[in-house]
Structure 1
Amino acid sequence: MTGAGPPRGAVARLATVLALAGGVALLGVALLTTASVLLRWAGAGPVTGDVEMVQLGGGLAVLGFLAYGTLMRANIMVDSFTARLPRRVTRRMDGLWSLLWGVVALVLAERMAVGAAEALANRTATIGLLGLPLWWAIGLGALGFAATGLAALHWGGRLLRDRG
């Protein structure tokens, strides 16, 4: 691993796969929305369950992109108070915030994993026309947060060691 490039390895591969899956989900949502609008315009009525599928697909797309954005350090950063500080100080501050974000993301991942297990046990489904089971989507969200947390912890340690 070099000092300037993004991390490599299993977490990077997982983040990449999740981002690609998020892109496919987002493309699917766009196509579904287009088809539903065109069908309504043509007088045939919307695609049955379009709202449920768009909600699930949109949420999964966001969680799919989150780990890759963290891995590439492409998330929004506000540096208006630290822009004039020495580079080493800002790296250390970024490292601490990355560690905090990593811990928060891993806690969210664990809570979502528990939620997925409960949704499976309770047979929780979407409220709507399709009644789609939710456990799998919550589980994929947990995976997205777990990958995000690992990527953030990696960067936090790297920045604190002044290797970012």
Structure 2
Amino acid sequence: MSAAGDFVDSALRYEGDEYRADDVRERLGGGLDSYGASVGAVRGTIRDVGNRYRDLDHDAITALSSELWSAPVFERRLAAIVLLQTHVRRLGNADLTRIEGFLREASVEALASPLIDDVVRPLVGSLVGPARTRALSVLARWADDPDPRLRWAAQAATASA
């Protein structure tokens, strides 16, 4: 695990509470584990990552988001979304492939919704020229995908485009 990934994981575990973790597991179903960290703790941890690791470029941000997403833990996946949301201006149309994987694995609306509303929509909305054309072709493919989260993302992003 990278130093930044280890920092996030350790901070979220530290901020976690078993009572809250049980509640999150029950509310979300059996597909994800939980540390029991609050949404505020997740956001604060990502803010701290930005302060601690100031040299994070596009590749480091996307790699860290994948690293965080790799474990089926709600707070880690939410942290990946907050990281992408925080740096959405650095993302490009090529990042939709990574986001597509996240959407396919976002087993709960509590992850899919912020990923669509706070990452996909502003990302696509900020693109111009050939990058926008390529992104819209990805969204057209998503619109016909059997995965309802991808269809939802395509509809949301093209509605605001």
TM over 0.5: no
The alignment's TM-score, normalised by the length of structure 1, stands at 0.31
- Between 1 and 2, higher relative CO (CA 8 Å, sep ≥ 6) is seen in 1
The alignment's TM-score, normalised by the length of structure 2, stands at 0.31
Identify the structure with the greater helix proportion: 2
Larger Cα Rg: Structure 1 or Structure 2?
A: 1
